[in-house]
Amino acid sequence: MEALLSVADYARAARRALSQEAFDYYEGGALDEVTLQENTASWTRFKLHYRVLAGVANRDMSTTVLGQPVSMPIVVAPTAFHKLACEAGEIATAQAARAVGALFILSSLSNTAMELVFAQAASPRWFQLYIYKDREITVELVRRAEAAGAEAIVLTVDAPGLGTRERDARNSFRLPDGLVVENLASLGKGNFPEVQGSGLAAYVRANFKEDLGFDDLEWLCRATRLPVVVKGVCRGDDARRAAEQGAKAVVVSNHGGRQLDTAPATCEALPHVVEAVGDLCEVYVDGGIRRGSDVLKAIALGARAVLVGRPVLWGLCVSGEEGASQVLEILRRELDEAMLLCGCSTLSDIGRWLLQP
């Protein structure tokens, strides 16, 4: 059996394990997939100007997110439809996050009801939310998340519509028989419309609020007792305004290169957002994180934590919960190695000095 030593190894193994349609859904990006590719490539362009003779024997990767302790600054990002990867779906992902002490964020578009998933997820556990055209649907999701034990609401703001994903259109992507958007099933929104092309794109057009505005963020912050995290910011001014209107954290994200193609890579946008928000809120980043050294670079640029999506899915595809936890452990091990070789004992030792000669 092939040794699976890296995230890239798991990606190759997942490609062999999945149908073309499912792999393209997980892997694909918008239009020419420029941003998709740049998200990963841009991290490699930052060079690490390491220190020697630093006397580093032990490393501590623990931190907090919104005051909640985690074993490392690597978060399981919200991604949809985990039962395309393995039968246990989101429950396996939640259990993998629990095994490694990572924050787990559940997507609204999960194949498993949030109540079942959160029962298997250790604290901290957050719920990702889209704003629906029917506000009562949004309210119901928030109330269920609160009751199920979610400890924050992650509002995705970069998807008032769906960026054109040509792989999905060519494949006429839709969920296989027996799989639905489980959190929305009882609200009559569990199935894709019957259309040519991407069923997901048609679902988003029919249901997501296109005229999403800062008033919706302000409303959500009033509507829930949970802290609100805004995911999908690219600009510093948007991030600062979100913080001023109640967001406790922002995620620098371009939806994994799946929305606006030729948007900047997240590592390029991150420093501008960090500078703009200052101490108003915490800043996280996702997009293209494939090595522990990428995590270290994100922290050096000012992120408190990173979100990882596709790599966790690849682990699920290969061996379910065990595969997902192994991917997270690979990134943990690589971060520990990068900290050792850069001369950093704790995350607070990591700074912009590492990226400048």
Closest of 96, 130, 95, 92 to residue 111, by C-alpha: 92
Cα separation, 12 vs 314, whole angstroms: 8
Asked if residues 287 and 42 have their Cβ atoms less than 8 Å apart, the reply is: no
- Regions in the chain scoring below 50 on pLDDT: none
Give CA–CA dist 156/142, Å, rounded.
14
Is 49 one of the catalytic residues?
Answer: no
Instruction: Check 49, 82, 255, 272 and give the catalytic one.
Output: 255
How far is residue 322 from each of residues 47, 118, 325, measured CA to CA in Å? 32, 18, 5
DSSP state, residue 162: P
24 with 168: CB under 8 angstroms?
yes
Residues 6+ apart with CB under 8 A from 227: 66, 151, 152, 153, 248, 249
Give, in order, the Cα–Cα distances in Å from 333 to each of 195, 228, 292: 45, 31, 7
- Chain centroid offset of residue 327 CA: 15
Q: Give domain 7-349's CATH number out of 3.90.980.10, 3.40.630.30, 3.40.50.10800, 3.20.20.70.
A: 3.20.20.70
pLDDT digits (tens, 9 = 90+) for 137-171: 999 999 999 999 999 999 999 999 999 999 999 99
The type of residue at 289 is: I
pLDDT for 2? 76
Instruction: Parse the chain into domains and list their residue ranges.
Output: 7-349
CA 283 to CA 57: how far, in whole Å?
A: 29
Q: What is the pLDDT of residue 1?
A: 60
> How many alpha carbons fall within 13 Å on the CB side of residue 165?
29
* pTM of structure: 0.96
Phi, psi dihedral angles at 161 (to 5 degrees): -145, 175
Digit-coded pLDDT (tens) for 183-233: 999 999 999 998 989 999 999 999 999 999 999 999 999 999 999 999 999
Asked if 261 contacts 33 with a C-beta cutoff of 8 angstroms, the reply is yes
Given a contact cutoff of 8 angstroms between Cβ atoms, the answer to whether 14 and 314 are in contact is yes
